[in-house]
Chain A
């Protein structure tokens, strides 16, 4: 059973517009959420994270929103740039529980930003 779900396998956005990537989770014990970006032939690279005590975290063009009651988070990229084209993975952990920090990943969403 997939605990972290990214229901959109792909997303295409025009350069300069907003990209919104969505992620849902089922485990209410998750208390730490991260977004990773992955280019072909490279490992995932950390993008932004949010703790369950917050509902928003912003870093430059990237903002992550967390809705705990809906068990939903989203990543907003504004403005989108062609270099943002990559696969974006949502990940979660029960960081202060027993998982010792290991991450549960979603299947990823492939973002294509067109010039």
Chain B
């Protein structure tokens, strides 16, 4: 079965650079979530989108922005990168009309800021 696809899997950037992460949800899933997991930390909710509109916002820094496109894929844009942005970024998707609405996670994109 198709899963959530994230790209790139690994990304190395320097401070003050910009990075973009992409997420392709499971087909027919209309909601996308972004989570950030720092070393030894629990996944922290950043932002979510439902039907291409922002549906909820968590601890996403102002330097970050995200959007969901017409094909339901989502991109997380991170600017003015800081060392503390080094983390594993998970995307998840769900559909209220499918199953019990649990989130299905991708394998994550590991961002390293040098």
- Chain A residues within CB distance 8 Å of chain B: 4, 34, 36, 41-46, 49, 89, 95, 98-108
Interface centre among A42, A103, A104 (most CB of B within 10 A): A103
Say yes or no for B74: interface residue by CB 8 A criterion. Answer: no
Chain A interface mostly: loop
Q: Is the beta-carbon distance between B103 and A89 smaller than 8 angstroms?
A: no
Q: Is the beta-carbon distance between A100 and B56 smaller than 8 angstroms?
A: yes
Total count of chain B residues near the partner, CB < 8 A: 27
Q: Is the beta-carbon distance between A46 and B56 smaller than 8 angstroms?
A: no
For A47, give the chain B residue with the smallest CB separation. B102
Say yes or no for B68: interface residue by CB 8 A criterion. Answer: no
Chain A residues lying within 8 Å of B92, measured Cβ to Cβ, are 43
Knowing A49-B102, A106-B42, the reply to whether A100 touches B108 (Cβ < 8 A) is no
